[in-house]
Chains A and B, each alone.
Chain A
Amino acid sequence: MARFNHRTIIALLLLMAFVFTACAPTAPAETAQPADEGPGASGTIVVAMGAAPVSLDPADHRSRESETVIRNMFDGLVTRDTSSGVHMQLAESMDWADEQTLNVKLREGVKFHDGTEMTADDVVFTFERIINENAIEYPEPHTSPRKGLIAPLESIEKTGDYSVTMHFRGPWPPAMQLLVHQQIVPKAYIEKVGTEGFIAKPIGTGPFKFVSAQPGLEEVVLERFADYYGGSPDLTPVGPACVNQVVFRVIPEASTRVSALLAGEADIITNVPQDLIPNLEANENVQVKTAGGTQPKWLELNVHMAPFDDVNVRKAMNYAVDKDLIIEKIFGGRAVALPGPLSPYNNFVNKSLSPYPYDPAMATDLLKQAGWEDTDGDGILDKNGQPFTFTIDTLEDWRPLAEAVADMYRAIGIDANVRFWEYSVIKDQLMAGERQGYLDDWGDSAFDPVGHFEAKWHGFVADTPYGRGNFSTYSNDRVNELIEQGETTGDPAARQAIYDEAQQIVYDEAPAVFLILPEEVEAASASISNWSPASDSRENMHDVCKAE
């Protein structure tokens, strides 16, 4: 009797081990094989990112991290250099036949990673795969999430082996800026292996070709593409990539990323926490670089809920925040104060606007005009018996900024405190106008008001992009009208005037406290050369080299 249970126990344990492994159907996949040393190329660069890419299919994602990796494997018709703007890439030349049709002349002799040549068919296939309904068949037929980004594109037709014509529903000034974010995919290859095969082993025209990827894309290994056509002629040096292998690895915890850099396990790390920058700068074999940020921060006030229904109160809230102190102390000087609703780096920013100065006295006066005074001497402003309490809702990521702002409000007698939420939970309550104030950011990677300005400051209109992120429930008819005009006027000067006026109105009505725009901070080991952090979420590894 005793012998019997010996055997069952051992049998059971073996069963356990087998079950755990059996239910893990991993096809024998290669981990990062050392790539063959291409001519003149040297070494491997490890880029440590804070979050994992979602997909490697250029048409099936909307995440910055995915774009960071994708734009090293795939090139688009045009590309952008953060300093010098948009340049031709796979397109040789582009000209507008009229405000709604764009003729594109493709570069010839460009090869995909599998050696096949890129032609007009691939470009047409790429864009149709984005704008057609249910064009992506894996895992279930669905439309590309990027369709909205190029919504005005009505159709695209092949006009020659190396030329295509794009037809738009109306004038679309930001066309160039937004085409940068659409990359060309190989038609023949996708039709052969299907989307499932494509995302397992992506083929593109970029400087690097795909080698392998860990589950959930925690680690993506790319290898130098020897016969790369050289990239955009305007961006020297033109030619194949400098380094032999690039690995994008995910390290979610900030201090671990920094430690990985200091320990030499990572060569480049992204979104470095402000507090750790002094340490990195002090270390001689580490270099820290910053680039203009694209995530402006606001504290949006609910304009339909007292006390923020009064414009004086909203202005006072702007005057009460010492942005320079926050920039100097919390961001170590690596941020700029927001002049108004648009980020200073946006092409159509209203240059006449300057940030609300820090003037607590003015703030107190404005509040007094609005009827808020500390009548019962308890240190908190009150109005007909009601104390001025203000709960700032935000995400844990913006904890330091939120707490600093709350401190400053407490200093002028507002009983302010902060609550951290999960975005998906708080979003519905914000849209329903149930909350007082929400501190967050809104991406502006296209440096153009379209896709950014209307989502924040246009009144909310269901089933349209207008006011999708408008948490202050602010709506001004004139501003709405101006925004709609701005989207369709082609002439840049006219657009500038439209947006200037819109920004002025929003500035004066102050539906939000315009806070700061932190810079993108990245760090790399000293052995890395000609690398610079990109603010439009593209870690351009094309020219980056690593001295052994």
Chain B
Amino acid sequence: MRGIKILERVLGTIPIMFGVAIIVFFFIRLTPGDPVDIMMGQGGSISAGELENLREEFHLNEPLHIQLWYFLRDAAQGDLGYSYVLKQPVTALIGERLPATIELALGALIFSLLVAFPIGVISAVRQNSWLDRLSMSTAFLGISMPGFWLGIILILLFSVQLHWLPVQGRIKLGTGLEQHTGYFVLDSILTGNMEALKSSLLHLVLPSVTLGAPVAAVIARVLRSSMLETLRSDYVTLARSKGVAEWWVVIKHALRNAMIPTVTVVGLQVGILLGGNMVIETVFGWPGLGRMVVKAIFDRDFPLIQGAVMIYAFTFVMANLIVDVMYTYLNPRIRLG
């Protein structure tokens, strides 16, 4: 029964993806700025005639609905067209850059969960202790400092001063890593290349911490406030009366129920992890999809923007779907919505 509902939601993403694609299609074309003109750049002289035949080539002169028809017809066959600027098929470009963004997002999510859960639980159990105050103030630091500021400070401290961690990029030179999936950590494990594994993990640390800090802060605070609720509930008293050890009461009984509101918030944060990492990718020179999309937007590289936006939409909606499924799994009272 529940499997069907999940399938329903998976199929439900298709209209959303195309919905987003169509909205973006019109939105970027109506926004002022002409891709061909930008591509020509400034230097040298260029006759307007050449601009004209470039526009011709990209079908830019046809009315919008015709252009939309071209786009939908090609997209249906899986051909998302070519990037105006990079002159490579959009699917290839995204296919190569998406794993970097997802690897960073996963790294940040893992970091934030590893940090947020202990802090959230401990500061609830030890409410108003100095530990609670300390963890909450570091949480504020995570929330209030912009990503790039935190990133630059971390680089200056851990890479330039202490030389513990690398400054930028996904992996150091000369590790001879064969890429199969595009996920460096996964690839290095698959190919058993320990040096590449070490280097890719080291390169993942600072960007994940920077991207994960605000997310950890939010999750920690929400978890803390819901833990305070569940620790006061009757079923916790029942568990204690059954002779359950205190820490097991906190972890199994209280935390399990406190997860329910927290999961929704984690779901929202995943959106930030995926969508918000363009700044982090810029600061750490991380060759992810986020940075490419930013450049594509400024270049008005329509096919690339559309392709990337559809993939982003797909990943967003998938992440939310996973959260909803986890939500029903955690909270038996709510059937899959």
Contact = CB atoms under 8 A, between A and B. Distances in A.
Q: Do chains A and B touch in the complex (CB under 8 A)?
A: yes
Interface of A: 1, 4-5, 8-9, 12-13, 16, 19-21, 23-26, 28-34, 44, 46, 52, 54-55, 60, 62-64, 133, 138-143, 145, 147-149, 151, 199, 214-219, 221, 247, 249-253, 255-256, 259-260, 262-263, 265, 422-425, 427-428, 441-443, 445-446, 450-452, 454-455, 462-465, 468-469
A251 B47 CA distance: 33
Contacts of B298: 422-424
Nearest to A181: B44
B174 interface: yes
A536 B79 CA distance: 39
Nearest to A466: B45
A26 B87 contact: no
A145 B40 contact: yes
Given A142-B54, A251-B285, A31 B148 contact: no
Contacts of B96: 24, 26, 214-216
A148 B169 contact: no
B99 interface: yes
B243 interface: no
B86 A54 contact: yes
A54 B85 contact: yes
Given A25-B95, A252-B282, A424-B300, A8 B33 contact: no
B329 A33 contact: no
B86 A455 contact: no
A63 B42 CA distance: 9
5 nearest CB pairs, A to B: A424-B33, A465-B45, A215-B96, A443-B43, A148-B46
Given A260-B167, A443-B43, A255 B152 contact: yes
Interface centre among A1, A33, A263 (most CB of B within 10 A): A263
Given A143-B53, A216-B93, A463-B49, A260 B173 contact: no
Interface string B147-187: 01000100110011001001111011111111111110000
Nearest to B299: A424
Contacts of B94: 24
A215 B87 contact: no
B181 A24 contact: yes
B285 A249 contact: yes
Given A145-B40, A424-B300, A16 B318 contact: yes
B89 A139 contact: yes
A21 B159 CA distance: 31
B32 A428 contact: yes
Contacts of A32: 173-176
10 contacts: A9-B329, A24-B181, A24-B182, A31-B177, A216-B93, A260-B168, A263-B167, A265-B169, A422-B33, A465-B46
Contacts of B246: none
B237 interface: no
Given A215-B287, A256-B167, A428-B34, 11 more contacts: A13-B322, A21-B181, A55-B87, A139-B82, A143-B54, A148-B46, A250-B287, A263-B167, A265-B166, A427-B33, A427-B37
B287 to A, nearest CB: 4
A423 B32 CA distance: 10
B222 interface: no
A490 B31 CA distance: 45
Contacts of B8: none
Interface in B36-60: 37-50, 53-54, 57
A140 B160 contact: no
Contact of A256 (B6, B37, B283): B283
Contact of A149 (B2, B45, B159, B171): B45
Contacts of B115: none
Contacts of A147: 50
Interface of B: 1-3, 6, 31-35, 37-50, 53-54, 57, 82, 85-89, 91-99, 102, 148, 152, 155-156, 159-160, 163, 166-169, 171-183, 282-285, 287, 291-292, 295, 298, 300, 311, 315, 318, 322, 325-326, 329
A520 to B, nearest CB: 15
Contacts of B172: 265
A140 to B, nearest CB: 6
A451 B326 CA distance: 61
Contacts of A424: 32-35, 37-38, 298, 300
B6 A12 contact: yes
Contacts of A140: 57, 82
A143 to B, nearest CB: 6
Contacts of A33: 174, 176
Contact of A451 (B31, B45, B167, B168): B45
Contacts of A16: 318, 322
Contact of B45 (A8, A215, A455): A455
A139 B287 CA distance: 23
A60 B87 contact: yes
B11 to A, nearest CB: 13
Contacts of A12: 6, 322, 325
B46 to A, nearest CB: 4
Contacts of B1: 1, 4
Nearest to B184: A31
B156 A454 contact: no
Interface centre among B32, B43, B46, B85 (most CB of A within 10 A): B43
B42 A259 contact: no
Contacts of A454: 45
A253 B87 contact: no
A28 B160 CA distance: 34
A445 B43 CA distance: 8
A253 B283 contact: yes
Contacts of A63: 41
Contacts of A217: 86
A31 B175 contact: yes
A216 B287 contact: yes
Nearest to B38: A424
Contact of B285 (A44, A62, A139, A253): A253
B290 to A, nearest CB: 12
Interface centre among B44, B163, B315 (most CB of A within 10 A): B44
A393 to B, nearest CB: 14
B45 A468 contact: yes
A24 B94 CA distance: 7
A247 B183 CA distance: 22
A513 B185 CA distance: 54
Given A259-B159, A425-B32, A468-B45, A20 B168 contact: no
Given A44-B173, A425-B33, A451 B43 contact: yes
Contacts of B50: 143, 145, 147-148
A259 B160 contact: yes
Contacts of B326: 9
Contacts of B283: 253, 256
Contacts of A141: 57
